[in-house]
Amino acid sequence: MKVLLVYPEYPATFWSFKHALPFINKKAAFPPLGLLTVSSLLPDKWEKKLVDMNVTKLKDKDIEWADYVLISGMIVQKKSSAEVIHRVKALGKPIVAGGPLFTTGYREFPDVDCFVLNEGEITIPLFLKDLEQGSIKPVYTSEEKPDIVHTPLPDWSLIHFKDYASMAIQVSRGCPFNCDFCDIIIMNGRIPRVKTPEQVRSEFDSLYAAGWHGSLFIVDDNFIGNKIKITQILKEIASWMDEKKRPFTLFTEASINLADENEIMELMQRSNFNSVFVGIETPDEESLKACGKLHNTNKDLVEKVKILQRNGLQVQGGFIVGFDTDTHHTFENMIKFIQKSGIVTAMVGLLNAFPETQLYKKLQKTGRILKIPSGSNTDFTINFKPRMNKDVLIEGYKKVLHSIFSPKNYYKRIITHLKEYNKSAKETKLAFWMKIKVLFEAIWKLGVREKGKRYFWKMCLWTIFRKPYLMAEAISLAIYGFHYRKVLIYV
């Protein structure tokens, strides 16, 4: 059996880093971890080929080679997925689809021959059994949540490491919280399932043995969803890092209560973490309560961010506008919060209601759902009737973007971050020299050609005289800003 695994193309969005990747000669930010894991769930005797369309083009000869085409993606990849499905069917090949996009929206793709939905550890064996018997069903689905201690290692042989800025692994699935807009708890549940420390060590070993040295994204829904187990895993990672001389720099996603966990933050420093993505959503208490994000309430969120920064973690933040409780003060309050906190990478998006979420069901009951969301956080669309006047909301949203990503405010925020940031992570020599290598290109594009270059030089001079050892960090963040301005302001 010959199977072609296809990962659709991402549009230019906040997290695509399309305009930043050329600085470091990379084609994509991350590999398609889901498909690499799917490959390991398929029979070893099968011939497998992966086409990541963010790295290379999908050719007709690739499709013609395959007996089956397997496609997986997220909602933001919907347009590219539809194009792939059309091409595969035009060439007369059967196509099997799975992953988040199809799990919540498979009815939108009538041309797909078979859907293998939910978690592959459960549904892929069901599909393989029927395939062997020659009678596959149209849909395989299951509400069962598998114990991920049985999840196999990703099939790293399908990719070229040189194409990617970072690798990715998963340590846990699920999140204990109950935010009404979040589809993670719909797909992965509210009881975090965690791999064993030995299993995580094996994943680190497999990447190291394959030759990877550099950035590694732990893609968990909430890294500290199970604090007891993650503490055990961090001790194992810290030990591994000591043995291997810290070949990876790690980053992940976690809830803001990480700032209350001194032991975990200390272990993260020992494990060579350098950043964390946190869902702040909004500084407005009423909006946090209304959407069910109660764990962010009754806190000095700015101080929590600064605690994380002082513990060696650059904080990347997710923010949302469009809650029913938002007012015309919301936009200015969000700008002030982002600037004061020093969250350089501040992803601000319009609220959208994703299928099957509590928010979607609530809005559907009151007739406010307009369409399925695009999945993009940068296309200025909203898929329901907002409480606030839509034009006012869109203009307020644009005001936030133009303010926080203006060179003046963006570079000022880098300085605010660097003032607090107590860097502890050790970079690989390759990563360090790569940043030095791009310094000259950054100077040309950001310090010579781009408008607002005086703010770039002001930031550089501040760093040189105050924290010269963080110069590589400052330049890296400056390059990210170049990407954000291209995607979020000049679209």
Q: What is the mean pLDDT of residues 87-99?
A: 98
pLDDT at 433: 56
Which residues fall within 8 angstroms of residue 42, CB to CB, at 6 or more apart? Answer: 3, 48, 124, 128
Residue 110 has pLDDT above 80, yes or no: yes
> Burial code of 429-467, b = ≥16 C-beta within 10 A, e = fewer?
eebeebbeebeeebbebbbeebeebebbeebbebbeeeb
375: nearest Cα among 31, 100, 33: 100
CA–CA separation, 294 vs 298, rounded Å? 8
Task: Give the per-residue pLDDT at 472.
Answer: 86
Res 210: pLDDT: 97
The predicted-structure confidence for 134-184, as pLDDT tens digits, reads as follows 999 999 999 999 999 999 999 999 999 999 999 999 999 999 999 999 999
User: Residue range 443-462: average pLDDT?
Assistant: 92
CA distance 115 to 129: 15
Residue 491 banded pLDDT, cuts 50, 70, 90: very low
- Residue 41 structure tokens: 């769930």
Q: How confident is the model at residue 431 (pLDDT cuts 50, 70, 90)?
A: low
User: Residue 111 — pLDDT band, cuts 50, 70, 90?
Assistant: very high
Residue 432: what pLDDT? 58
Distant-in-sequence, close-in-space partners of 433: CB < 8 Å, separation ≥ 6: none
Mean pLDDT of the chain: 94
- pLDDT of the residue at 113: 98
Are residues 295 and 177 in contact, defined by beta-carbon separation less than 8 angstroms? Answer: yes
- Whole-structure pTM value: 0.94
For the cut 80, the answer to whether the pLDDT of residue 288 exceeds it is yes
pLDDT digits (tens, 9 = 90+) for 309-325: 999 999 999 999 999 99
For residue 416, the model assigns a pLDDT of: 98
Q: Structural domain boundaries of the chain?
A: 2-140, 165-406, 429-488
Residue 46: pLDDT band (50, 70, 90) is very high
**pLDDT reported for residue 24:** 85
Binned at pLDDT 50, 70 and 90, residue 436 comes out as low
- Residue 427 pLDDT > 90, yes or no? no
Please, which pLDDT band fits residue 419 given cuts at 50, 70 and 90? very high
- Residue 490 in this model has a pLDDT that exceeds 50: no
- pLDDT bin (cut points 50, 70, 90) of residue 239 is very high
- The percentage of residues in the chain with a pLDDT greater than 90, rounded to a whole number, is 86
Distance CA 181, CA 352 (A): 8
Q: Tens of pLDDT along 371-406?
A: 989 877 678 899 999 999 999 999 999 999 999 999
Q: Which CATH superfamily is domain 2-140 in?
A: Cobalamin-binding domain (3.40.50.280)
CA angle 162, 422, 311 (to 5 degrees): 90
Q: How far apart are CA 420 and CA 467, in angstroms?
A: 11
Which of 3.20.20.70, 3.30.470.10, 3.40.50.720, 3.40.50.970 is the CATH number of 165-406?
3.20.20.70
Q: Is the pLDDT of residue 79 over 70?
A: yes
Q: How far apart are CA 314 and CA 273, in angstroms?
A: 9
Question: Positive or negative, the Cα torsion across 87, 89, 95, 97?
Answer: positive
Average pLDDT of the residues in 298-316: 97
- Percent of the chain at pLDDT > 70 equals 97
pLDDT at 62 over 70: yes
